[in-house]
Amino acid sequence: MSETIFNKIIRKEIPADIIYEDELCLAFKDVNPQAPIHILIIPKKSIPKVSDAVKDDHNVLGHLLLKAGEIANTLGVKDAFRLVINNGEDAGQTVFHLHIHLLAGRRLNWPPG
């Protein structure tokens, strides 16, 4: 597996505005926000894309979604947020370490892109 910027953030080798951390995941503010609230939620385990996840990853995948809801609640946007997971380059994924974008703080239109 190749090294990503997220691996360096997990190891605290480069700074990030971390808003949540536990044994399975890390959440931090996106440095290029697409909404007033833009948080990235990543597993500490390196999984390049959601399509690379295996059966044994089901606990961490579920954990990420539960934490997304808790983080949204903490930020005061419990009922008005969007979660986005890009899978692969053609879907807009630029960092190949699975991550969930939590977007909120403005009206989010549909379709997204």
Count Cβ atoms below 10 Å from residue 32 Cβ, excluding itself: 6
101 as an active site residue: the answer is: no
Q: Which of 38, 63, 97, 99 is catalytic?
A: 99
* Angle at the Cα of 47 from the Cα atoms of 42 and 52, rounded to 5 degrees: 130
Rg of the chain over all Cα atoms, to the nearest angstrom: 14
25 and 43 Cβ atoms separated by less than 8 Å: yes
pLDDT, tens digit, 9 for 90 and up, residues 98-112: 999 999 999 999 887
> Which domains are delineated in the chain?
5-104 (3.30.428.10)
Q: What is the pTM of this model?
A: 0.95
Position of tokens 């539960």? 66
Measure the CA–CA gap between 92 and 84, rounded to whole angstroms: 11
pLDDT, tens digit, 9 for 90 and up, residues 49-93: 999 999 999 999 999 999 999 999 999 997 899 999 999 999 999
pLDDT, tens digit, 9 for 90 and up, residues 22-54: 999 999 999 999 999 999 999 999 999 999 999
